[in-house]
A and B are shown apart, each in its own frame.
Chain A
Amino acid sequence: MADRDCVRIGGGQGFWGDDLDAPRRLVEGGPLDYLMLDYLAEVTMSILRKLHDRDPSAGYARDFVGLMAEIYPACVERGIKVVANAGGVHPYGCAEALEEAARSVGLGGRTRIGVVSGDDLMGRLDELLEQGHPLSNMETGAPLASIRDRVRSANAYLGAGPIVEALAAGADVVVTGRVADPALAAAPLIHEFGWAFDDHDRVAAAILAGHVVECGAQSSGGNCMAEWWSIPHRDIIGFPVVEVEPSGSFTVTKHPNTGGRVDRASVVEQIVYEIGDPTRVLTPDVTADFTTIRLTEEGDDRVRLEGIRGAAPPDAYKVSVAYGAGWMAAGTLLYTWPDALAKARAAEVMLRRRFDRMGYRLDDIHVEYVGWNAGHGPLATTPPADAPEVQLRVAVRSTHRPSVAAFAREMAPLALTGPPSVTGYAAGRARVQEVIAYWPALIQKRAVDPQVRVEVRHP
């Protein structure tokens, strides 16, 4: 395999809920070797855990199975392999559903499915704490014990290693639980080119390639500020494709006849997205130095990235713990001209007085005037002059659920009791939701690695 001169990887989903048609466009619209699909945001695992607790067959991204049923035959026909973290908290359940989907589209005996597990620490938390792994909060230093009874999910971000193993064992589709997002694209490169994990510069290049495609169209003109008004045909935006060479140098592009734009601006916005110290971008596989990247615009929709340097990775995995932290609700009312803002402000005062009088136990009350300061807060210093309309949005949080439930019933009555020319109270009705907070921690790799399993199935 190491004699390939180019491996093409497309990023087809940037989060669970992304454009469902994008993977099909990547598979059918031009040359591709691998499709990577990222489904897991920070909070997603706790949601999947809740679903799994209610129904033991649930707990993974079901969308993925439906999507694969559509594109699986084309992937097999064209030799495109798929790597997805759609397994959530139940990668085996995801793989089983995928096997069934493969058989239902006539691929029985013609494809192999790899499953990576072992990232899930939920069932091992007490054992790990007893063994002296404190899983302290990386930001605050507080020990996990302080929230232990409220933990809903705990997952280590695994690296590319187990995915490489699954690919080497012949998997055409690899389903994982929590892995570092860029590892979904780095693993195919490490596998295809036979790169060693201590070849830090090339592994850094693989991670960079993954980082560029992991958020889907965010590197090909989506959510791009630079002359956004001139970005063509966003309705059929081309999701990003990296064309990676054995040296680790690669070109970011997109398929022909698609919308969007790949240029310096769109790619750099993605490179700097969700990073800390750029000289030490920490991943399970490498510590990458983004200040060593050389970027060249090669022509229309082609950006070349090369020269990145890497160093040894940390000896710990990042762990994302989700825990219950109370309840929240938010409601809205729309006030219209004349004096829309004055009416909304009067309504806010009315609500705050009622909360006090009724004795609600609210830990936080947050008020926004949509159309003025909901996005930029106090940085939006000047209220709009004679605004045609202002939406009042009130959100509350409390560990006392009945208070949040009572708040949720407080806004609609203002339609008849509060300032005039108000509407939108039905659409803006508040709904009580649990607050799931996020607890970043570290764990020694040696405490996790023995539990990591790679299995290849033959539907």
Chain B
Amino acid sequence: MTRIPLVHLAHARSGDKGDVANIGVVAYAEDLYPLLVEQVTVERVREHFGSWVSGAIERYELPNLWALNFVLHGALDGGGTVSLRTDAQGKVLSSALLRMQVDVPEPVAERVRGWGRVPSDWRPDDE
């Protein structure tokens, strides 16, 4: 097994409803989804966010979309309009989750190397 950041396996989007945030985490390929189910557990996510998320965390599975949905209570410091954070609406909880380290088999780590990160030869006006 090799330890890599989740950013190589999945992309994500997050948003708010009051003081509740959700993060949808989506595998880059169907065969990577079981790794998300196994590795990105409620316990690991709670540990990852620590004090940044004060309330309960729930996880839901959407195998049809290769996605997990995390619902984070008390994730927004009182809610999108009350929070003093720059990210009052939890828009970048998504990329924060992708920092998490996961353990994957060596061949998987090899295959996804560099995924989710901008290529080194990319320029801003490439299209």
**B81 within 8 Å of A (CB atoms):** yes
For residue A396, which residue of chain B has the nearest CB?
A: B84
Is there an interface contact between A43 and B80, defined as CB atoms closer than 8 Å? Answer: yes
A264 to chain B, nearest CB (A): 8
Distance A332 CA – B26 CA, assembled complex (angstroms): 35
**A268 within 8 Å of B (CB atoms):** yes
Distance A377 CA – B50 CA, assembled complex (angstroms): 11
For residue B25, which residue of chain A has the nearest CB?
A: A272
In this complex, the interface size class of chain A, counting residues with CB under 8 Å from chain B, is: 35 or more
**Interface members, chain A 11-66 (any B CB < 8 Å):** 42-43
> 0/1 per residue, A360-381, Cβ < 8 Å to B?
0000101010100011111100
- List the A side residues contacting B61 at CB < 8 Å: 291
Is there an interface contact between A274 and B16, defined as CB atoms closer than 8 Å? Answer: yes
**A431 within 8 Å of B (CB atoms):** no
Is there an interface contact between A374 and B26, defined as CB atoms closer than 8 Å? Answer: no
Is there an interface contact between B15 and A273, defined as CB atoms closer than 8 Å? Answer: yes
User: Which of A416-424, A436-444, A451-459 lies at the interface?
Assistant: A436-444
Is there an interface contact between B87 and A226, defined as CB atoms closer than 8 Å? Answer: no
- List the B side residues contacting A325 at CB < 8 Å: 82
Question: A438 touches which one: B18, B28, B64, B87 (CB < 8 A)?
Answer: B18
For residue A325, which residue of chain B has the nearest CB?
A: B82
**A139 within 8 Å of B (CB atoms):** yes
- List the A side residues contacting B80 at CB < 8 Å: 42-43, 438
> 0/1 per residue, B5-19, Cβ < 8 Å to A?
000000111011111
Is there an interface contact between A277 and B18, defined as CB atoms closer than 8 Å? Answer: no
Distance A279 CA – B60 CA, assembled complex (angstroms): 9
**Interface members, chain B 87-115 (any A CB < 8 Å):** 87, 92, 94-96, 99
Distance A437 CA – B92 CA, assembled complex (angstroms): 21
For residue A367, which residue of chain B has the nearest CB?
A: B84
Is there an interface contact between B119 and A290, defined as CB atoms closer than 8 Å? Answer: no
- List the B side residues contacting A272 at CB < 8 Å: 13, 22, 24, 26, 62, 65, 67, 69
Distance A279 CA – B65 CA, assembled complex (angstroms): 13
B94 to chain A, nearest CB (A): 7
Interface SS majority for chain A: mixed
Distance A374 CA – B65 CA, assembled complex (angstroms): 31
In this complex, the interface size class of chain B, counting residues with CB under 8 Å from chain A, is: 35 or more
Question: A273 touches which one: B13, B51, B95, B99 (CB < 8 A)?
Answer: B13
For residue A292, which residue of chain B has the nearest CB?
A: B64
**Interface members, chain A 214-263 (any B CB < 8 Å):** 218, 223-226, 229-230, 232-233
- List the A side residues contacting B40 at CB < 8 Å: none
- List the B side residues contacting A293 at CB < 8 Å: 64-65
- List the B side residues contacting A375 at CB < 8 Å: 86-87, 92, 95-96
Distance A115 CA – B37 CA, assembled complex (angstroms): 47
Is there an interface contact between A229 and B122, defined as CB atoms closer than 8 Å? Answer: yes
- List the B side residues contacting A328 at CB < 8 Å: 84
- List the B side residues contacting A232 at CB < 8 Å: 127
Distance A197 CA – B95 CA, assembled complex (angstroms): 39
Question: A278 touches which one: B69, B87, B126 (CB < 8 A)?
Answer: B69
Question: A436 touches which one: B49, B77, B81 (CB < 8 A)?
Answer: B81
Is there an interface contact between A229 and B84, defined as CB atoms closer than 8 Å? Answer: no
Is there an interface contact between A437 and B79, defined as CB atoms closer than 8 Å? Answer: yes
Is there an interface contact between A379 and B28, defined as CB atoms closer than 8 Å? Answer: no
**B34 within 8 Å of A (CB atoms):** no
**B44 within 8 Å of A (CB atoms):** no
- List the A side residues contacting B58 at CB < 8 Å: 277
For residue B99, which residue of chain A has the nearest CB?
A: A379
**A346 within 8 Å of B (CB atoms):** no
Is there an interface contact between A229 and B126, defined as CB atoms closer than 8 Å? Answer: yes
Told that A395-B85, A438-B82 touch, could you supply 9 new A-B pairs with CB distance under 8 A?
A42-B81, A139-B19, A139-B20, A139-B73, A226-B26, A268-B65, A276-B71, A378-B50, A379-B50
11 contacts between A and B (CB under 8 A): A42-B17, A218-B13, A232-B127, A268-B66, A272-B13, A272-B69, A275-B22, A375-B92, A379-B52, A396-B84, A437-B78
Considering the complex of A and B, which 7 residue pairs feature the smallest CB-CB distances, nearest first?
A272-B24, A366-B84, A395-B84, A225-B11, A274-B15, A269-B13, A376-B96
